[in-house]
Amino acid sequence: MQITLFRVTRRHVTHDHVTHYHVTRLKGSVAVLRIGVLLGDDIGLEVVPEAVKVMKAAAAKSGLQVEWKELPIGKRGHELHGHTMPQVTVEALEEMDGFLCGPIGHGAYPRNDPTWIMPPLRKRLDLYASIKPVKSYPNIPSVHKNVDIVFLREVTEGMQSSDTVVAGAGEFRPNDEITIAQRVITRAGSRRVAREAFEIARTRPRRSVTSVHKEPVYRLACGMFAEECRKLAKEYPDVKLEEVLVDGFAMKLVMKPQQFDVVVTTNQFGDILTDEGAGVVGGLGLAPGLCVGERLAMSQATHGSAPDIAGKNIANPYALIMSGQMLFEWLGRKRDEPKATQAARRIDAAVDRVIADAKHLTADLGGKASTTEMGDAVAAAVLQGMTNEKRES
């Protein structure tokens, strides 16, 4: 007889007082993680499978049990269900532990058609913090070396757009001469992204958080965000908090990025600064990302869908692979699952090894490898790393 056990935990209560629960399937005492796979558009169809390939190798070698489920989004979602964010996909994602989402080519979508939208997954699933590491490598051309920063950007508030509203619009034009936009800052939203920043800082050697805002000008909006960061700092006496105004931070990030460790900021400031950070270390091809909520996380790289190179098998899979690595790392911390943490470390070490060897890198990184060749090399390095560890032990 096979007995299937489930762990049921309360996820969140929505604004209309509906309680959502998260169900994790168990086998014996071992959790089975459920991870969704959303290919996205254009190069997403090429880079997401490489990330899944590497994650599967790391999970297998770490003894981590994962159930994978492919779900439609973007153009494929519209082909199958008449909408770029099908309800069937949203409902399935609510039962996942996390998911990978490829880039969405919304720039080519028809205008003024409500079925063709940039899928507001972050708002719909309450994924409030975008985590984006900025890391330099010795043999990858970059403006600066020895850079290792983790940015946290609040992504459900700020200047309102299709990404941040569930219904209606965040801006409107009452006549042809006037456009009105809105910025939303809440204590709850500021507090939870700041807490995630302090928690991540605790896992890093420097244990430092930089809060970026413009309080002297936006005394109420940025002021509220800054206040919540200061309040939380009292709960983390082992973590240092500093505050930098956004314009000064932008300058310092270009001149001396090595001074920063973990950086937390509001939505639009973070949108700009994370791209600037990626430019400091080599470009968007080296910019992975993870959007997290209380019980769910989405791996999604910073780069776009690059339709000009789609189908050519030349796209750099690094950002999606490392976004998957971040998902395992987050699940290890949030689910108290050491095997997920171990899998994340294997991927991180494998990527470092492939980049250092410089034999299987795509053209934007100075190599001649295809998308699949680089993915194969990282997956092989995951397996080889395991073999080396066994020999050393």
Pairing of strands 19-27, 30-38: antiparallel
Last residue within a domain, chosen from 331, 349, 367:
349
Q: Which residues in the chain land under pLDDT 50?
A: 1-4, 12-18, 27-29, 386-393
Decide if 376 is inside a domain: no
> Does the residue 229 lie in any domain?
yes
**Residues 81 and 101 reside in one and the same domain:** yes
- Look at residue 365 and tell me if it is in a domain: no
Asked if residue 14 belongs to a domain, the reply is no
Looking at the structure, do residues 218 and 257 belong to the same domain, yes or no?
A: yes
Does one domain contain both 153 and 66? no
DSSP characters over 268-305: HHHHHHHHHHHHHHT-GGG---EEE-SS-EEE--SS--
The helix (H) or strand (E) run that includes residue 209 is: strand 208-213
Q: 268 and 345, same structural domain? A: no
Give the tens place of pLDDT for each residue, 190-241: 999 999 999 999 999 999 999 999 999 999 999 999 999 999 999 999 999 9
Does residue 166 sit in the same domain as residue 200? yes
Half-sphere exposure of 164 (CA within 13 A, CB side): 21
Question: What pLDDT, on the 0 to 100 scale, is given for residue 171?
Answer: 87
Give residue 323's identity as a one-letter amino acid code. Answer: S
Q: How many domains does the chain have?
A: 2
Q: Is there a single domain that holds both residue 337 and residue 312?
A: yes
- The residues pairing with 5 across neighbouring beta strands, listed in sequence order, are 26
Report the pLDDT value the prediction gives residue 9, as an integer from 0 to 100. 55
Question: Same structural domain for residues 149 and 234?
Answer: yes
The tens digit of pLDDT for each residue in 64-80 reads: 999 999 999 999 999 99
Domain closes at, from 281, 305, 339: 281
Residue 310: both structure tokens together: 């789609």
- Return the H-helix or E-strand segment holding 91: helix 87-93
pLDDT for position 22: 53
Q: Is 64 left (phi over 0), alpha (psi -120 to 50) or beta?
A: beta
Please report the pLDDT score of residue 3 as a whole number. Answer: 37
pLDDT > 70 in the chain, percent? 90
Is the domain of 147 the same as that of 238? yes
The token duo for 82 is: 């008449």
Q: Which domain holds residue 154?
A: 143-281
Residue 81 lies in a domain: yes
Kindly state whether residues 148 and 254 are assigned to the same domain.
Answer: yes
Residue 197 lies in a domain: yes
Q: What pLDDT is recorded for position 392?
A: 39
In angstroms, the CA 190 to CA 29 distance is: 36
Position 255 in a domain: yes
* 156 and 243 housed in the same domain: yes
pTM for the structure as a whole: 0.87
Q: What angle do CA 257, 260, 265 make, to 5 degrees?
A: 105
- Is residue 258 in some structural domain? yes
Residues 60 and 173 in one domain: no
pLDDT at 31: 74
For the purposes of burial, counting CB atoms within 10 Å of the CB of 333, is it exposed (0-12), middle (13-18) or buried (19 or more)? middle
Mark whether 53 and 178 lie in a shared domain.
no
Q: Of 281, 299, 325, which closes a domain?
A: 281
Output the domain CATH number for residue 313: 3.40.718.10
Bridge-based pairing state of the strands 171-175 and 178-181: antiparallel
